[in-house]
Chains A and B, each alone.
Chain A
Amino acid sequence: MRYMLLMCRDEKQWGALSAEERAAAYWATVEYSEGLRKRGLYERGDPLEMSSTATTVRMERGKVVTTDGPFAETKEQLGGYSIVEAKDLDEVLAIVNRHPLLRAGHSIEVRPIRAEQPKQP
């Protein structure tokens, strides 16, 4: 069973940390993920650039419209993701509960990755 961990943070708070603190959180995450990989629980993951660098594309009245910014203005923004492999939600939660990004002010949303494909039309 695969799950995606969505790492969310308030970018204002995150930006207020010192460069050293952000770097420490990054390397702690790399180390943690490496440990998970060795146990066969980690597939991949990446940090994302700030949401100010996002571009959103949508259809409006039949026309493709490109706008600056993320798809929704929210208090917290997506800052990265990991894909993990676990036998059930409790195993994932045990991973998430000890994640170093939690201590660095992130909240982590856990989403099951859909395994079944919809019927072909």
Chain B
Amino acid sequence: MRIEEIVRTGHGRILATLIRLLGDFDVAEEALQEAYAAALEQWPGDGAPANPAAWLVSTARHKAIDRLRRRSRLTQMQNQIARHIELTAEEDTPVAEDRLRLIFTCCHPALATEAQVALTLRTLGGLSTEEIARAFLVPTPTMAQRLVRAKAKIRIAHIPYQVPASDALAERLEAVMLVVYLVFNEGYAASFGPHLVRHELCEQAIRLGRMLVELLPAEAEAKGLLALMLLHDSRRATRLDGSGDIVLLEDQDRSRWDRAQIDEGAALVEAALGEGGRASGQYALQAAIAALHAQAPSAGVTDWRQIAALYGLLARIHPSPVVELNRAVALAMSGEMELGLRLVEELDRGAELDGYHLLHVARAELLRRLGRHAEALQWYQNALDLVSNEAERRHLEKRRGEIAR
């Protein structure tokens, strides 16, 4: 296996094991960088070792000991770390549990959400600080500072490196899943800037989602989350046209949707709903909705009635005006156009969705379908005043242009 490939696919698990063995994020990261350098030097000549991951862990561990010994005056903490390393020298093969421990540490609620996201991508995703900074459109020094602060807090406040006790697991897992989904969404629908899809973030999120399903097989919601991401991502190739403009779900070329991903997602939805039953969570329900879209042979035969019912369930466990908006649109699409529009108008009277451009888009689209073009134009304009993504702006301008003629 080539080193680049290991860095891409195995970095998280190797680093996770090193953090357990060395007991410190920074020491582990530095040591692993040194081990990569050693691998680049030795593998081309000697050939890659039989178990590259174990080789890297073992090499990094020795580099860490050397480095600590080289320093003439050891502080008390480094002394402790050095002892810790000696004591735990037996276990160099990465174990899956390490990654789970690590993601719970990275997504600890004592860290700010943006720090959780950055730390997860840095450690488990193996993204460089520059890459994460670029992905979230912040200057690299800002991102570096964010990571430094988070790691310092982990060390100083003793945020533990462990899977939470079972009484806290559900709540903590929710925080982890939120971070994974944030990463996915950031990649899927960048809320700002010119590009709508930044696929690498989606791939990272899906990889993390797979890890959660693999390591927490009893958690139905983890399956729901992975399903949701796979189903959304299956449409990736068709969401934008050749010139980077948005193609609506109903106009997308369904033959180009990723069938394997849809099948995998649909099977996971079924498992998640089966295990969750009446207690099914928000990810499973959203995934079920995505599956209905993905499995419809054409937009015209989409089971909107079922989708509206699922949004109704979702609203019960996770009440939100955005969910209500989606339910209203689904009802309208299922044939109850007037009722749907009335619900959208009601939502608009409340203040909660002020400034949410999709509310105006929904209203414009429904009015357009009812042939009330003059009113639709006004709502497209309201949406345009609020939208920040370039691709979405062009799309709305096009839609407006179509009925303005």
Contacts and interface: CB of A to CB of B under 8 A. Distances in A.
A112 B77 contact: no
A110 B159 CA distance: 12
Interface string B66-78: 0000000001110
Interface string A77-121: 000000000011110011000000000000000101000100000
Contacts of B77: 116
A88 B160 contact: yes
Nearest to A93: B110
A12 B397 CA distance: 53
A110 B77 CA distance: 22
Given A112-B156, A112-B157, A90 B76 contact: no
A116 B79 CA distance: 13
Interface in B61-90: 75-77
B162 interface: yes
B106 to A, nearest CB: 14
Given A89-B158, A90-B160, A112-B157, 17 more contacts: A1-B158, A87-B158, A87-B160, A88-B160, A89-B108, A89-B159, A89-B160, A90-B159, A90-B162, A90-B164, A90-B165, A90-B168, A93-B110, A94-B168, A116-B75, A116-B76, A116-B77
Contacts of A110: 157
A81 B157 CA distance: 18
Contacts of A93: 110
Interface centre among B75, B158, B165 (most CB of A within 10 A): B158
B159 A88 contact: yes
A87 B158 CA distance: 8
Contacts of A116: 75-77
Interface residues of B, number: 14
4 smallest beta-carbon distances between A and B, as pairs: A88-B160, A88-B158, A112-B157, A89-B159
A1 to B, nearest CB: 5
A89 B156 CA distance: 10
A47 to B, nearest CB: 25
Nearest to A97: B168
Contacts, number: 27
Nearest to A114: B156
Interface in B156-178: 156-160, 162, 164-165, 168
Nearest to B155: A112
Nearest to A117: B76
Contacts of A112: 156-158
Of A87, A89, A93, chain B has the most CB atoms within 10 Å of the CB of: A89
A14 to B, nearest CB: 26
Interface in A1-37: 1
A100 to B, nearest CB: 19
A89 B162 contact: no
9 contacts: A87-B160, A88-B158, A89-B108, A89-B160, A90-B159, A90-B160, A90-B165, A93-B110, A110-B157
B110 A89 contact: yes
A67 B160 CA distance: 42
Nearest to A119: B75
Interface in B27-78: 75-77
A23 B158 CA distance: 34
Nearest to B164: A90
Interface string B108-133: 10100000000000000000000000
Interface in B127-166: 156-160, 162, 164-165
A29 B180 CA distance: 39
A110 B110 CA distance: 10
A117 B168 CA distance: 34
Contacts of A94: 168
A87 B75 CA distance: 21
B310 to A, nearest CB: 34
A23 B348 CA distance: 48
Contacts of B168: 90, 94
A90 B104 CA distance: 11
A90 B160 CA distance: 7
B76 A89 contact: no
A89 B158 CA distance: 6
Interface in A58-92: 87-90
Contacts of B108: 89
Nearest to B110: A89
B37 to A, nearest CB: 31
Contacts of A88: 158-160
Contacts of B160: 87-90
